[in-house]
Chain A
Amino acid sequence: MTPEFFAALGPILAAEPLLYIVGGVILGIVAGATPGLTGAMGIALMLPLTYYIDSKLALILLVSMYVGAISGGLLPATLLRIPGTPASIMTTFDGYPMARDGRPGRALGIGITASFVGGVISWLFLAGLSPPLARFALRFGPFEYFSMTLMALMLIAAVTEGSLMRGIVSGFLGLVAALPGLDPVSGEMRLTFGFHQLAGGFQPLPVLIGIFAVSQILLMAGEGAPVTERVTTGFSRMFMTLADWRRQAVNLVRSSVVGTWIGIVPGIGANIGSIVAYTLAKSASRTPDRFGKGSEEGIVASETANNATVAGALIPLITMGVPGSVVDAILLGALVIHNIQPGPLLFRNEPDLVYGLIWAVLVANVVMLALMLAGIRIFGRLATIPKALLNPVLLVMCCVGTFAAANRHFDLWIMLGFGLLGYVLQRCRVPLGPFVIAYILAPLLEKNLRSGLMMSAGSYEPLITRPISATFLAIALVTLVYAVVSEVRAARSGR
């Protein structure tokens, strides 16, 4: 820990950043607690508004929203059996049965506390690992960055939900979406199809709002809201006792570590973290048969791990500029919009910003704990807002936000186009994660490969002769082979 790290805490506790943290956490909880709204959608919708505020405060707001959204997903998962965010799916298995048994307060209290513990433990990893990782990343040249980005894309395609091929198709579609406009190296115009408005390419804001927000609203319009039974009574025994802490200590630490490490792996995200932690907790439990029927251990594992992925996924983002999850890809977009280049140099050039952001994650977790415990009844009501009233308002926010960013009417059509594409992809069960991450990372991938080749006079040899680059490529290859073998085995066994 450097003196700059501790010096960054004071400014974060000033009135203005604190106000943004509280505001961000509230907005995040609202996004997470409202079924149909997700953290990614909420953050994408908030992006245009951040144009008008200071970069550091904008990032603090978005990161706080991220913390709030993952935690807020617990509320509808427990009260309605609808995961507010994909990361809360495992919570529905035990949270809702507990709520039906007349213990919603207990289920929510345990979930909120577990979310906080997961957030704090993973924050320790974020604060402890980021500076040395950034120092290590300073050794990277263009070939290393290219190989690392390729490895990240391969991991994302291989481990996201659905089949490997769907992930690969999604990733290539994202790559293609990033290509139109002025070539970043030579300045040549390409793939604009006669539209002069595409000279700057598909801008991140219309693409992200279309893919995450508009497509989600279209899905709800086409499929209708699920019929639910809301549980409202029994908000008591919310705080964990000393005996609870003793009983859950191992589960809390294990799920936090699992969540953090899964968060660090690019593109996997909170839902997988929560599934893995839940499975591990079940296999280690003395009462595995209680899982799925209202097990407190199940709620603890799921909520601890999904919150732990938030800080975990921020580690590769701020140290190397590689998003650890889909929400981090949007945060990477936000950094680009605010002209901040994420990566190892961030620690050297803007220590105030990067350390401030790290402290903001911890403060956001504390604020989340206080707000969720105090406002649980109010936030719980969000789950019942009629979608027929909410969705038109959200669509207006999508349009006005997209338009306001550059005052271009054309961007609204791009937003609708990507909304329809996102809708079709989701109906085809093609995951959106690889699409968005490839779209965000494609310029980095291309620029580094071409810069590297210019330095090596067109030779690809450094890709395999430089040890770090070769390691990344080897991991990418092993991931691909493993994913293909797993898929072939699954096909043979008739799954």
Chain B
Amino acid sequence: MKPDLTAGVLGIGVSIVVFASSFTIAPPRYEPLGAGAVPIAAAVGLFAGSLILLATTVARHLSGHHPVGGKRWVLVPRPATLALTVTAIALYIVLFASPIGFRGATLLFVVAAAVILGARTRRDLIWLMLVAPIVAFGCFYLFTRIFVVDLL
């Protein structure tokens, strides 16, 4: 999908959800506008803006003029790396609150994410073996002992 097309579709989707949800907000009692007015106005503005973006993209396409967005936006050079990175972050968030705890989760995450992102030479792996425990235990010490935050 082309960039403007994607942005337009995203904008229209969000505006429809917000517009529909705005009608569940209680009407104003003591003031002229009420809590629902701005969400409705924002949804209408977003819808109009996104529609114009879509229309101009389609018009350019129909006229055979492709000044921007020639390459497909979904085709990033390393889609697998991107997907694995997002999965690793999501798993880290899950493990963050699991019995493994912050230190274990962080240790696993730093190693996994570094390997996913390309740390595969012997030099990188040696550095990783040093960096991962320092980050896991260093952050734990900093936040729990100095900032007094419960890191689970």
On A, residues with C-beta under 8 Å from B are 49, 51-52, 163, 165-166, 168-169, 172-173, 175-176, 179, 183, 185-186, 188, 190-191, 193, 214, 217-218, 221-224, 386-389, 391-393, 395-397, 399-400, 403-404, 407, 409, 412-413, 416, 419-420, 424-425, 427-430, 442, 446, 449-450, 453-454, 457-458, 491, 494-495
Chain B residue numbers with a CB within 8 Å of A420 are 86
Q: Is the interface of A mostly helix, strand, loop or mixed?
A: helix
Q: Is B78 an interface residue (CB 8 A)?
A: yes
Residue of B nearest to A459 (CB): B32
Chain B residue numbers with a CB within 8 Å of A449 are 33, 38
Is the Cβ of A176 less than 8 Å from the Cβ of B119? no
- Provide a sorted-by-A list of 10 A–B residue pairs whose CB atoms are within 8 angstroms: A166-B53, A173-B14, A188-B35, A193-B21, A392-B109, A407-B150, A409-B96, A429-B3, A450-B32, A495-B67
Known contacts A179-B39, A222-B79, A403-B151; A169/B53 CB under 8 A:
yes
Is the Cβ of B33 less than 8 Å from the Cβ of A391? no
Minimum distance in angstroms from B92 CB to a CB of chain A: 7
Chain A residue numbers with a CB within 8 Å of B78 are 221-224
Known contacts A218-B86, A393-B110; A388/B118 CB under 8 A:
yes
Chain B, 88-107, contact with A by CB distance < 8 Å: what is the 0/1 string? 01101100110000100010
Is the Cβ of A404 less than 8 Å from the Cβ of B43? no
Chain B residue numbers with a CB within 8 Å of A183 are 25, 35
Chain A residue numbers with a CB within 8 Å of B11 are 169, 172-173
Task: Name the one of B25, B85, B89, B143 contacting A188, with C-beta atoms under 8 angstroms.
Answer: B25
Is the Cβ of A391 less than 8 Å from the Cβ of B113? yes
Known contacts A393-B110, A404-B151, A453-B32; A388/B124 CB under 8 A:
yes
Known contacts A172-B46, A188-B26, A430-B7; A222/B77 CB under 8 A:
yes
Is the Cβ of A222 less than 8 Å from the Cβ of B82? yes
Is the Cβ of B135 less than 8 Å from the Cβ of A396? yes
Is the Cβ of B81 less than 8 Å from the Cβ of A190? no
Q: Is B58 an interface residue (CB 8 A)?
A: no
Residue of A165, A224, A400 with most partner-chain B CB within 10 A: A165
Residue of A169, A399, A407, A425 with most partner-chain B CB within 10 A: A169
Task: Name the one of B15, B21, B69, B77 contacting A191, with C-beta atoms under 8 angstroms.
Answer: B21
Q: Is B133 an interface residue (CB 8 A)?
A: no
Is the Cβ of B34 less than 8 Å from the Cβ of A186? yes
Minimum distance in angstroms from B136 CB to a CB of chain A: 8
Cα separation A472 to B122 with both chains bound (whole Å): 61
Is the Cβ of A179 less than 8 Å from the Cβ of B38? yes
Residue of B nearest to A427 (CB): B73
Is the Cβ of B77 less than 8 Å from the Cβ of A221? no
